[in-house]
Structure 1
């Protein structure tokens, strides 16, 4: 802690020069040291010039990640400076009580004995007589939550006590084993206690997984320290320990809640009556049949599909239940659930108390101190989610006919990156052509309730009749126009609307546009995000000091002997090729139209309807052009650039300079006729064909795998992967097959000092993979028992490689193996 006399980013200085090189060195020092910068509450700057013309954040606390495990509520507070030019900073724990914790369902409860019976018995016993089916369903959920709270409180107490007793019993048995005072009954008792402890630990790991909100986590992962680290770090980042109210730092929970309530109540209030209304007639609309289809009665099957389309572990609303709960007990609760949803479609409104929601405040910036620094996210209830999902599923069929091409996302077949890419291309085009233009960026969530009569009369003319006047994405919009006297004046427009003149390099939809991609500064945001994901505290928990397997082997596909992680090199190329594919396939998107308008029609995709597809030169049938397959016939061709359509509409020999003779010419003619016998031309447009999967569609995954196969090493034997056993067991078997386990022989080979390379169990042979798993007497006994139970040819399995020994076993059989291993 203390005065480091340097800052980490430009927003930590005001009125003085920012040195990016020093900031990078300081950040590198923090990262390499594995330290975490504690968020600072209160004032933003810790040092100030007496005139307040220069201010910087020079003082901070840098701690190790382990402190969050010991003190989850730790924070730093910047106090008043009084006579000094530095503000004192205080490291302390802040416990704020914002009220009772809402009910939240945890998936580990499914595995507790008696839980299913509790739900069935309780739900069938509820007898609410409300005529409103939605209110009746909500009351049942409320009563069920009360019973679950009481039941799980007792069960958690019993589980905690049971775990403590199991640990004590295991400790006593281990003491007896150490003295050699155990019999077979005691060993069996230890196996039983161990399995019970594993079940309890699995439940805790499931809770940690659900709390951590890690989408890539693996079921059964027991790295609880890693998940605790994620949970504690996220809690520290998301915690609200104070906010500035009228320039005064406030940390009282009641005042904070009232301040946020008033702020968002004003934001979500009904607009004033004097709000301007723009008269606009929509150019697109629905037919009567489409409108009737949208308003049709909802069926129970449609509701069920909507429920199954919702994520199992999404953050719940006020009801507290996840969709995994409703899916598990759909046969019991499904009828009441459908009745509640049908009530909305029957009356067109939610009943009072049934559409309540939580507002979660997510910090938009580091060290959020003002109300505008938080992004509100509404957590709605299950009924609300299903109703919106049903409506969204219905709109999918007609949304293409309603939304214009300027909307770049939330529509199937459109890409959210189209908007930033189009803007970036137009900006570069305007700079290169010295074309005067204007860009007006509007965020409707922050826009003023006013309008001016002057505005954009037309957009930017790119080529011919191609104009782009605006781009939309939900509440963000970009208006584009040409700079002219008849259009608008930037300074006057900015002053009248109340906004500022924008820098030519700005952020749109989270992407910086207007930068030169070759500039390092253009990638600062991405580098910053990657550094946050690759923090040192994660590396120390998950990393290994010895690299046992070459990284290229880990990246290699499983069918080539690797783990199938794949490389970023292949992913990057595959994603870039996706945009090339979009362009050459001419998908009709606004991005493709923009590229063609900016760079000319000479950049074209494959011709359409075979009118311009070249018979001899294009790979329109097979992987090789026909001129290479049939060189003797190509030599006879007079029109070398004849199209496929013209060639197939007549006789193949009509455009030859002479008749086909015997020998090679006759043989190639017969082969060509047989090849074209099954070809028939349709009236559909030509399209490019991706030949990796056989269906002609381009998929990033397939291209990524194809590039990996070309660039990564390949082994003759594929990786044996059994999905019925834990992933870590599969990885262990893979490492054993590669002889990459930390045996004494391998440790000595890598320069690690070991007293002896002899086996620590038998002290008669060298400790290597072959000896430990196939030659050691106890290992042979285990394999023999497995082979007698699962294999007919024991001797063949004993002498094969480890990858061929692992067979598909049931979960109960894995437990037997664990018992033998104990």
Structure 2
């Protein structure tokens, strides 16, 4: 146990600060020692006011530092604080205590799916069970009966995967011991082969089980990362474990009391108080058309149902029925008839059988060491019957959402993206700040938004938007048939029936919440129409920005007047009364530009909220921040550091480390990469983190990076590992903005950019670097980047429609290379229509499109031939009414820009073709990633053989082969040429009946032999104790 500060902010209420470089050095030392801190239960401070130098000082000073091995051995370890009495330090105690929180629900394990007897048992059980009644009841009872059969099958046949593995391993070892020193009999050979096969199957089953429990979706099965999986399982359980609750100010750990308190809390949260709510009858909303209603309530088609099933994640946690979608997809042909019958009957009556719409609530901590239930996020785990139906209904509802939801909402609407709202907010703040325009910004915080939605109000909004009675009946059936239990450390509480709220995890919930939130848009629109609220005008076109919504993330913009401030509060109060949602004004934030500090304080006091500090975070992006500053990227770098922690490096194979690096790069920073240009310093830092995690080492001790990072970032078929090169990845992601700005010119975010800068054409115009926001300036640099310009020119086709977007002379709509301006500069110089769009160069007549060219003077004789060629080029393209001009992305079959194909195109010029195809063949082999990664290093001759170590000036006492001692130890010799190793090769290859000329070079080996790559790994493992360190995974 140590007394130390780990973060500068850990010592509160005192007059000195702990320098961040000191705490960072301490943290690095702990990382190097593979030590981590145990969370403190119930309180966050261990030193309080009293005998300390500062009478009001409070801090977390005392702490237990524990190794990963400790956590793995005692996963239920936790620490608590005791009474301090006369000391200024609270004593802390480390305890390991297992509590019985009750029975755990049944769930299907992925490792069962590969067992042949399991497949036979499921099909036989499902087809043999017969129940009478309507389809939903029959399906529910069949699932219930199957669960009983699976429990019995698991108990009698499958059992504990680890014990099974150990039993087979013991039998195999005993056979090896009994036959040591003599030839095996034919029976013993067959037995050994069978045990080896059984051992492999058992190992795969155990690893699959661990991967499923660890929730590590990024890593491939088959790499034998069992130790890592164990650590992740224990870490997840430790982080999500509800150790106790503070109830009425007292810390309670008794399971029965805690579970009842949890049930009572959530039962109360989902209860609807009896009250008469006002309505919004005087407001207008967009309504759906009759043909859309017909689509919504049409019969469920088999292909539509299958598409919904396949859209559900196979690795998602199951609901109370324990059935995951990996199982459903594998046995779809068996269970499909019963599901289709259930859906057909629901289509008629809109009713669920009792218990078939049950769900669990899983509690996810919002903070470290939560103490109350408000500090947990409830996520619903839905049963498969309801989830399939909800997915079908959600897929249908998505098609009409763009027609009924206002453009200021960007969540879960096809064609809209959350970053579109970020652009609008960022550009509005930039203009208000730069020009000191009077502008207010109010960031709204909802109190349990999804849980507070009134079902009656949701049904009211559906009627107001024109949904037919059948659809409304279906939605009401989905809501009112629900029942809920809360999982407390994996054990469910008693069930209760909710009366309000939308379940997070239900496919329908995000879309239904958008419909509820549309009421707020309607109130704002009515306030604007009545002159009660005025939005903030952006750019020369004075585009109005008043409210931005992404699910429950809402922000208001408006002119800086007290009338607007009062209007915002009145609007939100009205919305509260009609919808059931509650605004947490105390956690909301108010800011303003162009006004005095006193005015801002008075406005914030009127709204009963805190002052907003700039930059502020909206949808995960710091609005108004300078993306060129390293500090802006600090949260992203910290997250990457946590994901690439040193203990993970220690417990992952080389192949596993490569996979994790890719997963981290394409998950954590990708959101920032899609919006901001990465500064060089940040890029270097992220590359340093990746490189150090891949090859080992830390800040003090650097290990050899055996292969250049540029090679690591090459595609696999070209000799690399396929790790994304950050600069090209960032360019490809940012390149989509120009594409979307061209195709979505009528959207709010595009109109804002058009109003401020001139739209997509302005990205290629040369202007002063200090005009516009930093984000826009960086976007222009991307658009004018030589690599990006070349990709856009070579990969984009200009497809003319009605001529509404393309300029006649300046754009490349007549061919791949040149515009009419470049091809006919003389005719352009005498045209009086130089900057016109195509549709302004003629008109549609009864006979079709007719051109109307106008010249400043008659054509000279020498220009006639040029004009004939000009007319031939122009008339070779047909102008089509009612079809907008568009770009076509040739690199993707969809014709739409994709960051993936843009990245591949950007990297094509850098990559070098692999002539013999060895690398391409290597990654196609059906072998574990760690073996393929090891073989990749072998082909590149970058294993730490004694020869390679000496080349890198590492002192080696003896460089000869440890087996034959005749020649120098090289990769080619120790794996293919050593006389002792060749014997092992011939014996190993005979096991799988491989014959032929044996290759003596790694590259030839992979072109000639497929299965033998696994033997390389075994040789390296066998040789490792005798050689310097072959670095086998």
TM-score range relative to shorter protein: 0.7 to 0.9
Taking the aligned partners of 1:487 and 1:424, their CA distance within structure 2 comes to: 21
Q: Does 1:700 align with 2:894?
A: no
Q: Which of 543, 546, 549 is matched with 1:472 structurally?
A: 549
1:475 Cα deviation after fit? 2.2
Structure 2 residue aligned with 1:460: 536
Q: Which of 727, 738, 755 is matched with 1:597 structurally?
A: 755
1:751 Cα deviation after fit? 4.8
Q: Which of 61, 80, 83 is matched with 2:86 structurally?
A: 83
* Contact 1:319/1:381, CA 8 A, preserved across alignment: yes
Q: Which of 619, 625, 642 is matched with 2:818 structurally?
A: 625
Taking the aligned partners of 1:465 and 1:621, their CA distance within structure 2 comes to: 35
Structural mapping, 1:205-354, within 5 Å: 205-279=207-281, 281-354=283-356
- TM-score norm. by structure 2 comes to 0.70
1:548 Cα deviation after fit? 3.0
Mean CA deviation greater in 34-43 or 646-655? 646-655
Q: Which of 436, 439, 443 is matched with 1:437 structurally?
A: 439
Structure 1 residue aligned with 2:64: 61
1:58 Cα deviation after fit? 1.5
Structure 2 residue aligned with 1:121: 124
1:136 Cα deviation after fit? 2.5
Taking the aligned partners of 1:156 and 1:178, their CA distance within structure 2 comes to: 32
Structure 2 residue aligned with 1:685: 884
1:138 Cα deviation after fit? 1.6
* Contact 1:407/1:473, CA 8 A, preserved across alignment: yes
* Contact 2:750/2:759, CA 8 A, preserved across alignment: no
Write the deviation string for residues 99-148 of structure 1: whole angstroms up to 9, x where unpaired: 1011111111122342122222222332333x242222222212221221
Structure 1 residue aligned with 2:578: none
- Classify the secondary structure of the residue corresponding to 2:563: coil
* Contact 2:76/2:238, CA 8 A, preserved across alignment: yes
Write the deviation string for residues 636-675 of structure 1: whole angstroms up to 9, x where unpaired: 76437476845994799998964449xxx98x99998887
Write the deviation string for residues 78-104 of structure 1: whole angstroms up to 9, x where unpaired: 222222111111111132322101111
- Classify the secondary structure of the residue corresponding to 1:512: strand
Structure 2 residue aligned with 1:191: 193
Q: Which of 474, 482, 494 is matched with 2:559 structurally?
A: 482
1:178 Cα deviation after fit? 5.6
Q: Does 1:525 align with 2:635?
A: yes
1:43 Cα deviation after fit? 1.3
Taking the aligned partners of 1:699 and 1:494, their CA distance within structure 2 comes to: 44
* Contact 1:105/1:320, CA 8 A, preserved across alignment: yes
Taking the aligned partners of 1:117 and 1:601, their CA distance within structure 2 comes to: 61
Taking the aligned partners of 1:274 and 1:17, their CA distance within structure 2 comes to: 56
Taking the aligned partners of 2:856 and 2:14, their CA distance within structure 1 comes to: 81
Write the deviation string for residues 323-353 of structure 1: whole angstroms up to 9, x where unpaired: 1112222222211122233333322232321
* Contact 1:636/1:656, CA 8 A, preserved across alignment: no
Taking the aligned partners of 2:805 and 2:162, their CA distance within structure 1 comes to: 75
Structure 2 residue aligned with 1:38: 38
* Contact 1:359/1:377, CA 8 A, preserved across alignment: yes
* Contact 1:12/1:45, CA 8 A, preserved across alignment: no
Q: Does 1:535 align with 2:535?
A: no
* Contact 1:48/1:54, CA 8 A, preserved across alignment: yes
Structure 2 gaps of 5+ residues are 455-519, 567-599, 653-693, 697-703, 765-799, 843-849, 1023-1033
- Classify the secondary structure of the residue corresponding to 1:720: helix
Taking the aligned partners of 1:583 and 1:33, their CA distance within structure 2 comes to: 50
1:392 Cα deviation after fit? 0.9
Q: Which of 914, 917, 924 is matched with 1:723 structurally?
A: 924
Structure 2 residue aligned with 1:47: 47
Q: Which of 553, 557, 560 is matched with 2:711 structurally?
A: 553
Q: Which of 138, 146, 149 is matched with 2:148 structurally?
A: 146
Q: Does 1:383 align with 2:347?
A: no
Write the deviation string for residues 407-457 of structure 1: whole angstroms up to 9, x where unpaired: 112011111222233222212221112122222332334479999999962
Taking the aligned partners of 2:156 and 2:554, their CA distance within structure 1 comes to: 54
- Classify the secondary structure of the residue corresponding to 1:48: coil
1:57 Cα deviation after fit? 1.3
* Contact 1:757/1:766, CA 8 A, preserved across alignment: yes
Q: Which of 734, 739, 745 is matched with 2:947 structurally?
A: 745
* Contact 2:370/2:376, CA 8 A, preserved across alignment: yes
Distance change >3 Å, CA 23–CA 588, structure 1 → 2: farther
Distance change >3 Å, CA 816–CA 234, structure 1 → 2: closer
Structure 2 residue aligned with 1:639: 830
Distance change >3 Å, CA 3–CA 774, structure 1 → 2: closer
Question: Size of the alignment, in residue pairs?
Answer: 808
Q: Does 1:575 align with 2:773?
A: no
Structure 2 residue aligned with 1:511: 621
1:60 Cα deviation after fit? 1.6
* Contact 1:68/1:74, CA 8 A, preserved across alignment: yes
1:280 Cα deviation after fit? 5.2
- Classify the secondary structure of the residue corresponding to 1:477: strand
Write the deviation string for residues 476-528 of structure 1: whole angstroms up to 9, x where unpaired: 32222212243225767766765444434433233332433344443343233
* Contact 1:725/1:814, CA 8 A, preserved across alignment: no
Distance change >3 Å, CA 768–CA 431, structure 1 → 2: same
Structure 1 residue aligned with 2:135: 133
Taking the aligned partners of 1:609 and 1:406, their CA distance within structure 2 comes to: 28
Taking the aligned partners of 1:531 and 1:11, their CA distance within structure 2 comes to: 20
Taking the aligned partners of 2:647 and 2:1017, their CA distance within structure 1 comes to: 32
* Contact 2:39/2:79, CA 8 A, preserved across alignment: yes
Mean CA deviation greater in 441-450 or 483-492? 441-450
* Contact 2:812/2:820, CA 8 A, preserved across alignment: no
* Contact 2:809/2:819, CA 8 A, preserved across alignment: yes
Taking the aligned partners of 2:127 and 2:137, their CA distance within structure 1 comes to: 17
Write the deviation string for residues 258-283 of structure 1: whole angstroms up to 9, x where unpaired: 22222222221114405454445343
Structure 1 gaps of 5+ residues are none
* Contact 1:13/1:55, CA 8 A, preserved across alignment: yes
- Classify the secondary structure of the residue corresponding to 2:920: coil
* Contact 1:556/1:709, CA 8 A, preserved across alignment: no
Distance change >3 Å, CA 609–CA 219, structure 1 → 2: same
Mean CA deviation greater in 340-349 or 288-297? 340-349
* Contact 2:975/2:1019, CA 8 A, preserved across alignment: no
Write the deviation string for residues 44-93 of structure 1: whole angstroms up to 9, x where unpaired: 21111139743111122222222221111111212222221111111111
Distance change >3 Å, CA 742–CA 682, structure 1 → 2: same
Distance change >3 Å, CA 539–CA 798, structure 1 → 2: closer
Mean CA deviation greater in 331-340 or 167-176? 167-176
Q: Which of 715, 720, 734 is matched with 2:936 structurally?
A: 734
* Contact 2:814/2:877, CA 8 A, preserved across alignment: no
1:556 Cα deviation after fit? 0.2
* Contact 2:364/2:376, CA 8 A, preserved across alignment: yes
